[in-house]
């Protein structure tokens, strides 16, 4: 009986370790398709990231902090040049709670743009998948929703445009 208990504990710990290793290996580099994650909108309604994507349009995922100066600058650059990005869909995502992100949304009014979707990542699932090194995390996907390139800080408008369309 003791042998079975020891075997069970070994298998349990091995499974937990290997399960963690497998989960840690799944990231934006080795899953080229745009990731399907559950996010919440400002009303708390859950939606899937892939459900909001339009076919045949490039997507830019911006993971941000509402208090980050670089994130604020990136948002201003995009919204000020939104006509340049009329054929691009943006997904702005944060893991900061509503009391933190709501003032950002009020100030930058990103939800008024038809090609910008906001999502709240309350589970931090996308943070792990994106392996964020700094903010904003800017991830570009082509019109087939395949990963192209990421930037670990804000990026100038002309460089973002080039990354999307070249």
Asked if residue 145 lies in contact with residue 34, where contact means CB atoms within 8 angstroms, the answer is yes
Task: Tell me how far apart the alpha carbons of residues 98 and 160 are, in angstroms, rounded to a whole number.
Answer: 28
Residues forming a β-bridge with 139 = 61, 150
User: CB 61: neighbour CB atoms within 10 A?
Assistant: 24
Place of tokens 């090609």: 115
pLDDT band at 25 (very low <50, low <70, confident <90, very high): low
- pTM listed for this prediction: 0.84
pLDDT at 70: 96
59-63 and 137-141 strand pairing: antiparallel
User: Can you give the pLDDT at residue 12?
Assistant: 37
pLDDT exceeds cutoff 70 at 65: yes
Taking the C-alpha atoms of residue 137 and residue 101, their distance in angstroms, rounded to an integer, is: 16
């Amino acid at each position: 009986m003791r042998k079975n208990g020891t075997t069970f504990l070994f298998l349990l710990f091995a499974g937990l370790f290997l399960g963690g290793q497998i989960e840690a290996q799944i990231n934006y580099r080795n899953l080229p398709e745009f990731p399907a994650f559950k996010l919440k909108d400002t009303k708390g309604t859950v939606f899937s990231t892939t459900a909001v994507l339009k076919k045949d349009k490039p997507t830019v995922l911006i993971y941000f902090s509402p208090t980050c100066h670089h994130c604020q600058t990136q948002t201003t650059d995009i919204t000020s040049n939104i006509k340049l990005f009329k054929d691009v869909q943006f997904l702005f995502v944060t893991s900061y709670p509503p009391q933190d992100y709501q003032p950002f949304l009020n100030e930058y009014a990103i939800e008024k743009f038809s090609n910008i979707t906001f999502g709240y990542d309350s589970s931090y699932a996308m943070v792990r998948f994106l392996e964020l090194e700094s903010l904003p995390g800017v991830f570009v996907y082509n019109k087939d929703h395949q990963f192209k390139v990421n930037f670990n800080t804000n990026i100038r408008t002309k460089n973002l445009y080039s990354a999307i369309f070249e």
